[in-house]
Each structure stands twice: as C-alpha cells, then as structure tokens.
Structure 1
Amino acid sequence: MTQSFDTPLPPPKERRRLREKGSLTQAQLAARLGVSRETVRAWETGRSTPSGRRKESYGKLLASLAATPSAEARGPQEPDGDSKLTVSLSKTEKPKPATPTAAPAQAPTATLAAPAPASAAPTPAQAFDALYAFCAPALVRQAYLLTGRRELARESVEQAFQVAWQRWPEVAVDPDPASWVRATAYEYALSPWHRFRPRYRHPEPPPADASDRALLDVLLTLPPSYRRTLLLYDGVGLGLPETAAETEASTPAAASRLMHARSAIAARLPHLAEPDVLHRRLAETASTERLRAAKPPAVRMGSERRARFWTRAAIAITVAIIGATALTVHSAPTRYEPPVPPGETVPGVPPRAAPGTLSTAELTLRAKLRAESANGPEKLLPEPR
C-alpha cells in the first residue's frame, strides 16, 4: 500500500534553496519528477503548487535534499532558463550568482553549518559588479541579434546597467534582477529614436559568414515585438508566460507573435524550422562577433556622472525659474495706473494733415488765423460811474 505524503510542502523560496543545496538545476529536478522545467520554476516562484502523486514525489525529494548534509557529486549542470543563452553565447566565461544580495561562494558544508556572518555580505558595488559580469556578455549578444548593430548593442547594455545602478535599491531586492536589466536593455535597443541619430543612419558591416548574414537579415525584417518574443522564447529559453509578461503582452498574443516569427524564418530558411536548430543557430550567430562590454567600474562611474549632470541641470533650471520669478515680482507695478484715455475731437480744429502742399481751404484757414490778434479779442473793462 502506498503511503500518501500529507506533510505540507515548504515555502517556494525554501524549495529553491533545497534544490540549490543538492546542486540540482531546474531541468535536472524536472527530469527526476517527470515534469517540465517551466513547471518546476512555477513551483519555486509560488505561481502553482503540485498535487497528488506529483506533490508526493516532490515532497519526498525535498525531504531527502533537506536531510543530505552536503551536495552530491553530479555531472556538469545545465543552465536554467534565464542563463541558457548566457552560457551558449559565452562559453568561456564562468557563471557567477545572478542574485546581487547573495553571499560569496563557500563550501557546501560551511553553508549548511551556519549562516554567513553579516560582515561577509558583499557591498552594493560588489553585488553590482557580480551581476554585470554574469549578465553583460550575453546581453550584448542578445542586443546584437535584436538590432544588428554592434555599437548599439554595447550602448544598450551599458545604458541598462547605468539605470540599474541609479535604482540599485530597487533592483537589488527584485526577485530576478537579470530579467529587470534585460528588459531595460531590450527597450533601449528597440527604441525607434535611434534612426534619427547620425551615427546610426548607415548600416554596419554584416557578419562574414553567409549563413549568419541570412539569419540576421531575416531577423531584422521581423517587427520588433516579434523579434523580441522569438529571442526570449527560442534564444534565452523563457517559458511562454514569462515571455508574455516581459513583452507586456497576453499569452495568446505572445504565442501568435512567436508562430508568425517562426513561419517567416522557415519560409526563407527552411533548415531552421525546428526550434532546437534555431536556438543553436542564434547562439552561433551571436558568438561569431567580438562583442565586448565595458568594465563594471566604468559603468558605475558613468552612471554616477550622468546622475550628477542631471542633478546639476535640474538645480540650474530651478535657480533660473526662481530668479525669473523674483525679477518679475520686483519689476511689476505696485499700484494701479489707469490707462491714458483716447483723444477727443475739438470742434473747429481740422485734423492734422499729412506733409505736402496745402489745399485751398487750408490756405484760407491759415490766413484767417494769422489775421486775428495774437492776444485774442480785447477785453471790456467796466467804467466807474
């Protein structure tokens, strides 16, 4: 008789911690339980909870991981969804923890024995540098597939990380800071205002390989939203709900964009009709280009300089507005001054004529005025009687 697993499952964060404690990836855990990786990810984020036999198997596996004092020796780990394209596009880099608030790597036994001391916690700059070193190389390659421009790809990633450093208190506590930075980089890379910049009016040299050029040309003919959805789903490896959430679209709309993008690529490149082949070709196309990101300290210094510039500009504009307001108040009248009334017509006085020859009537009037006494008529004085 099979015994049911009635013990409640641990919280989602504890589930993820137990999986990482056993050195298991989401794909490996899903293979053990016979479910998809998206299902395991939904369990660890709290969006869904297993039931029935799945709950029993999942609970027993978590209980065995919790009872294990140290991580077992396992084969090479498969990257999770968000780092799938990171490893495939940058095979030489060493993966680092993407969570900026994570403590430095220690031995598994020491981690299980006692929590890391408060003094061992990384500083904000160290956490930012770790996130940048882990995400920036792959993000540059992804931005290159989105835009087809090398300089714009590097600029997009640097701009995204500069914004992340300015808003680091918000990014540091985000459940997935890598997705936060990726969404910001994609938005900047796909901005339509770049077409008006002089440096981006002319196309850049295409890739040297003919197959890479063909794939990049097909990608650039897709609408930006289709291109982004295809890259997130078939390139990065996100699930359809996560792709829809990051592109700010509904799940049916994201599925429609994905199907149309795949159809457009398969129509021109039939050998890329399979998603696995398309994923591999996306990684190979981006890996052939030498796309290097700036160093983390340079990005942080650039972010701080930008913040200082805009702060000083805001202060200067505020001072100018205050000065203009003070000048207006000082020069404004302090009492009411009535307006000058319009002139009135005096009887007998002709209107002023324009310069030129006088008419006969004007000459007659002038002679009459000159003939009269300059002192006016004589006054009548009373005589005494």
Structure 2
Amino acid sequence: MTPQEFDAFYSASFSRLTGQLYALTGDWSEAQDVVQEAFIRAWDRRRGLDPGEAPEAWVRTTARRLARSRWRRLARGLHLAGRDHGREPPAVEPPGEEHLVLVAALRDLPEAQRCALVLHHMCDLSVEQVAAETGAGVSAVKSRLARGRNALAAVLTDQTPTGEEGKLRV
C-alpha cells in the first residue's frame, strides 16, 4: 500500500473504526487511543497491507487486542495496588439516552457476545467473516449472536434501538 493509499484508507475508516471500538470498550477516549495505535502499527506494515484483503479488519483486530491488553494491565495494576478494581472509569457523556442505554447493555454482555454483535451488526460482517476475524467457529459465532441478541432484548425490552434490517445503531 502506498503512502497515498494509506492516507485515503485512514481518512475513510478512522471514524468508523473508532465508533466500533467505542461500542466494544464503552470508553470513547480508549477507543480513539487504540484505533490510533493500531493505525500506527498498520503504517509500519503498509507495504504488506493489500487494499483488497480487508486492511480495516486487520486494524480493527489489532485495536481490539490493544484494548484488551490495556484493560488487563490496568486490572492487574489496580489489583497489585490494592485498590478497588471494580471502580468504573469516568463516564464519557454519550449524545443521547438511546445511545447510553445501548452502550450500557453492550458493556454488560460477555466480551465474545459483544464482539460478535458489533462486528456483525455494526461492521456489517457476515457470520463467516466474524468467525475468521475472531478465530471462532461459524456455529460459535451464530450461538454468540443469538445469545447476545436475547440478552439485549431482555435488557432493552421495547426500547431496542434498531435501524433498517434490524441493524443495531449507536
């Protein structure tokens, strides 16, 4: 990928990826940080990134792994410091009540279900693509999607924020 192609790729996908990582992490600042770091790593690998082979998936997976790693380091550090590691970080003001309810409901889901829902419904990936990106089997992804949808429906009842074709909106 040439520097010009990379710049176009960055411009076209940074906001979308940040929104997706925000849905996964529940923290806008953290989402911006990990997406930016993932793009820095992608820049170092740009010659090996092929625009036809889903470089956005590579950046998203890298950002997701960075977020998970940061969370583990933070939890471990708080545990070692003897602090209350269940304490929530300062909340970021979401744009509306519907948005806040959905993000909170997603945050309460197990990571595997949350990840499957965000990748499938927000990133418009097929079940097979979600399986490839997460390393899970197709049947596991289908199960996670079904369980995640059921858990969200139970929490959100008739306030479930959906758009066309049942796509989750954030």
Q: Note if contact 1:136-1:157 (Cα within 8 Å) is conserved in structure 2.
A: yes
Equivalent residue number for residue 116 of structure 2: 229
CA distance in 2, matches of 1:231, 1:158: 19
262, 265, 270: which one aligns with 2:157 = 270
Counterpart residue type for residue 113 of structure 2 = Y
Range that drifts further, 263-272 or 253-262: 263-272
CA distance in 1, matches of 2:90, 2:107: 12
Q: Note if contact 2:98-2:161 (Cα within 8 Å) is conserved in structure 1.
A: no
Q: How does 1:40-55 map to 2 (within 5 A)?
A: none
CA distance in 2, matches of 1:253, 1:163: 30
CA distance in 2, matches of 1:217, 1:278: 19
72, 84, 90: which one aligns with 1:193 = 72
TM-score in terms of structure 2 length: 0.82
* Cα pair distance change 1:195/1:278, threshold 3 Å: farther
Equivalent residue number for residue 205 of structure 1: 92
CA distance in 1, matches of 2:124, 2:73: 28
Equivalent residue number for residue 299 of structure 1: none
Q: What CA deviation, in whole Å up to 9, does each residue of 1:86-108 have, x standing for no partner?
A: xxxxxxxxxxxxxx4xxxxxxxx
Greater relative contact order: 1 or 2 (C-alpha under 8 angstroms, separation 6 or more)?
Answer: 2
**Structure 1: 5+ residue stretches without partners:** 1-99, 101-123, 286-385
Equivalent residue number for residue 125 of structure 2: 238
Q: Note if contact 1:234-1:275 (Cα within 8 Å) is conserved in structure 2.
A: no
Q: Note if contact 2:38-2:59 (Cα within 8 Å) is conserved in structure 1.
A: yes
23, 37, 54: which one aligns with 1:159 = 37
Q: Note if contact 2:37-2:63 (Cα within 8 Å) is conserved in structure 1.
A: yes
Structure (1 or 2) with the greater helix fraction: 2
Counterpart residue type for residue 152 of structure 1 = E
CA-based RMSD of the aligned residues comes to: 2.4
CA distance in 1, matches of 2:51, 2:11: 18
244, 247, 251: which one aligns with 2:134 = 247
Q: What CA deviation, in whole Å up to 9, does each residue of 1:311-334 have, x standing for no partner?
A: xxxxxxxxxxxxxxxxxxxxxxxx
CA distance in 2, matches of 1:194, 1:174: 35
**Structure 2: 5+ residue stretches without partners:** 79-86
Aligned-partner SS, 2:125: coil
Bigger radius of gyration among the two: 1
* Cα pair distance change 1:194/1:150, threshold 3 Å: farther
Q: How does 1:317-332 map to 2 (within 5 A)?
A: none
CA distance in 2, matches of 1:251, 1:273: 26
CA distance in 2, matches of 1:242, 1:139: 16
CA distance in 2, matches of 1:251, 1:275: 25
* Cα pair distance change 1:174/1:275, threshold 3 Å: same
* Cα pair distance change 1:212/1:201, threshold 3 Å: closer
Equivalent residue number for residue 81 of structure 2: none
CA distance in 1, matches of 2:3, 2:140: 39
Matched, 1:219 2:97: no
CA distance in 2, matches of 1:217, 1:277: 22
Equivalent residue number for residue 62 of structure 2: 184
Runs (4 or more) in structure 1 with deviation over 3 Å come to: 194-198, 273-278
Equivalent residue number for residue 313 of structure 1: none
CA distance in 1, matches of 2:165, 2:153: 11
Shift of 1:270: 2.2
Equivalent residue number for residue 256 of structure 1: 143
Aligned-partner SS, 1:242: helix
Q: What CA deviation, in whole Å up to 9, does each residue of 1:265-290 have, x standing for no partner?
A: 000112328784752x52xx3xxxxx
